[in-house]
């Protein structure tokens, strides 16, 4: 923004840093953990990913909003929840959309969903700050009149408790069970109903993304989605061929207080179990490992991961601020995937049982289909179990 322009939005960090810019989207204020995402596409999917609950996203790519928004690219399956994300920070002003799929301007879409935005700041400098010093909590505020009580806003930013110990799954999970039969998107056809669905899968919704459900259907699964606090006995009563543990937000140890005991029962049942992201972390907890808060987390669509079971490297999409501690993995658990950025754990499997999980998002297709084999791997375990 120019030196003479009055700021209409700001970001106040817990360390006292104040960044001024122009407000976009909804008016108001929100606190959260500030992270950065390096993806150059998929901003609408990112903004509707329930895993971002409690976070303010800084986009490192400068052109956010140039393809507009549409109803097909929404990832949250819980329409009762407006969005998980607390706010967004971008470098350039939002331009008019230039894409044949655009149905609404991003600014209007943000307003409708109650998401506060800030544009016109040096996002590279903010990204470097997070990389060097780690995650930082903050407050984002938008007031068209530009009236801000910075000391009061700083006090609110410092009063936010942070994500460690916070269970956010209850804010994003579904309220009741439902069936899902929609398959993946096809060019000029959109989303079609799945056909020849041979396997029954129960997906536990910790903040599940729609495209995960579509990938399961495209792999031949008829999916029943259940709320996060559903008991293992009720899941097994549905007689599933396999159980899926979804992605989600917050501290896995906090959500694990009620989820981990049920996951243990599901593992002990002998049913194939497949987890992604938060589901991966809580499965690890259920198997005796530990999780830890990361320095800056992994948020982007360009993360190389090596699959030790095949020797191949895949380009993955990631979104997590907690990770499974490699050193804590018990002897009964094999590490199957590792990040080639920092060596952190990205996948496990339980020896002798059809149970595995990955830290990244195979459904997000950054490769674009490097990781889709994981859904086929899950189905193969189901077929072997039958």
Instruction: Return the domain boundaries, the chain.
Output: 9-159, 169-385
Residue 79 above 60 pLDDT?
no
Residues contacting residue 177 through CB under 8 Å, at least 6 positions apart: 224, 225, 226, 227, 230
Return the percentage of the chain with pLDDT > 70, whole number. Answer: 97
The token pair at 191 is: 């989303």
Residue 283 above 60 pLDDT?
yes
- Give the mean pLDDT of 294-302: 96
- Give the mean pLDDT of 13-30: 97
pLDDT value at residue 41 = 92
- Give the mean pLDDT of 22-40: 97
Instruction: Identify the CA nearest to 368 among candidates 228, 185, 126.
Output: 185
DSSP structural state of residue 209: B
- CB 115 within 8 Å of CB 84: no
Mean pLDDT of all residues in the chain? 95
Q: Would you list the DSSP string of 234-296?
A: HHHHT--SEEEE----S-HHHHHHHHHHHHHHHHHTT--EEEETHHHHHHHHHTT--EEEEEE
pLDDT value at residue 367 = 67
pLDDT digits (tens, 9 = 90+) for 377-386: 999 999 999 8
CB environment 79-96: b (16+ within 10 A), e (fewer): eebebbbbbbbbbeebee
pLDDT digits (tens, 9 = 90+) for 142-190: 999 999 999 999 999 999 999 999 999 999 999 999 999 999 988 878 8
Tell me the CATH number for domain 9-159: 3.50.30.20
Residues contacting residue 129 through CB under 8 Å, at least 6 positions apart: 17, 136
Residue 368 above 80 pLDDT?
no
Residue with the two structure tokens 């008019």: 96
Residue 209 above 80 pLDDT?
yes
Does 9-159 match 169-385 in CATH topology?
A: no
Catalytic residue positions, numbered: 277, 361, 363
pLDDT digits (tens, 9 = 90+) for 97-140: 999 999 999 999 999 999 999 999 999 999 999 999 999 999 99
Residue 80 above 70 pLDDT?
no
pLDDT value at residue 189 = 81
- Give the mean pLDDT of 196-203: 97
Distance CA 255, CA 257 (A): 5
pLDDT value at residue 327 = 97
The token pair at 292 is: 């830890």
Residue 195 above 80 pLDDT?
yes
pLDDT value at residue 2 = 66
Question: pLDDT band for position 369 (50/70/90)?
Answer: confident
pTM above 0.95, yes or no: yes
Question: pLDDT band for position 281 (50/70/90)?
Answer: very high
Residue 83 above 90 pLDDT?
no
Residue 17 above 80 pLDDT?
yes
Half-sphere exposure of residue 47: CA atoms within 13 angstroms, side-chain side: 30
Could you please state the CATH topology (level 3) that the domain comprising 169-385 is classified under: Rossmann fold (3.40.50)
Residue 288 above 80 pLDDT?
yes
- CB 91 within 8 Å of CB 132: no
Question: pLDDT band for position 370 (50/70/90)?
Answer: confident
CA angle 298, 340, 344 (to 5 degrees): 60
Residue with the two structure tokens 């589901």: 279
Question: Which of 75-84, 106-115, 118-127, 350-359 shows the lowest mean pLDDT across its residues?
Answer: 75-84
Instruction: Identify the CA nearest to 222 among candidates 284, 266, 178, 188.
Output: 178
């Amino acid at each position: 923004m120019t030196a003479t322009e009055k700021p209409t939005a700001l970001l106040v960090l817990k360390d006292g840093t104040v960044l001024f810019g122009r407000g976009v989207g909804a008016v108001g204020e929100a606190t959260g953990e500030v992270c950065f995402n390096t993806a150059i596409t998929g901003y609408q999917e990112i903004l509707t990913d329930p895993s971002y609950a409690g976070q303010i996203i800084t986009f490192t790519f400068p052109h956010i909003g140039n393809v507009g928004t549409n109803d097909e690219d929404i990832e949250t399956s819980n329409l009762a929840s407006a969005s998980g994300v607390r706010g967004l920070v971008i470098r350039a002003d939002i331009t008019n959309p230039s894409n044949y799929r655009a149905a609404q301007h991003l600014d209007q879409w943000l307003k409708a969903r109650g998401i506060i935005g800030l544009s016109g700041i040096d996002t590279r400098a903010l990204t470097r700050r997070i990389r060097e010093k780690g995650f930082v909590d903050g407050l984002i505020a938008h007031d068209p009149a530009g009236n801000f009580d910075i000391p009061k806003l700083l006090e609110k930013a410092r009063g936010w408790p942070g994500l460690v110990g916070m269970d956010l799954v209850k804010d994003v999970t579904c309220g009741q069970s439902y069936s899902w039969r929609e398959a993946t998107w096809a060019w000029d056809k959109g989303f079609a109903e799945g056909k020849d669905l041979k396997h029954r899968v129960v997906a536990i919704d910790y903040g599940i993304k729609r495209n995960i459900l579509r990938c399961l259907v495209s792999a031949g699964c008829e999916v029943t989605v259940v709320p996060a606090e559903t008991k293992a006995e009720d899941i097994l009563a549905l007689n599933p061929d396999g159980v899926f543990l979804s992605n989600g937000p917050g501290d896995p140890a906090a959500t694990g207080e009620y989820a981990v005991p049920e996951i243990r029962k599901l593992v002990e049942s002998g049913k194939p179990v497949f987890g992604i992201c938060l589901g991966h972390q809580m499965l690890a907890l259920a198997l005796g490992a530990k999780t830890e808060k990361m320095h800056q987390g992994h948020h982007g669509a360009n993360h190389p991961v090596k699959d030790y079971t095949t020797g191949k490297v895949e380009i993955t999409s990631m979104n997590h601020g907690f990770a499974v501690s490699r050193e804590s993995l018990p002897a009964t658990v094999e590490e199957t995937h590792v990040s080639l950025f920092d060596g952190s754990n990205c996948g496990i499997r339980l020896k002798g049982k059809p149970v595995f999980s990955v830290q990244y998002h195979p459904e997000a297709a950054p490769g674009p289909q490097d990781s889709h084999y994981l859904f086929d791997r899950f189905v193969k375990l189901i077929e072997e179990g039958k």
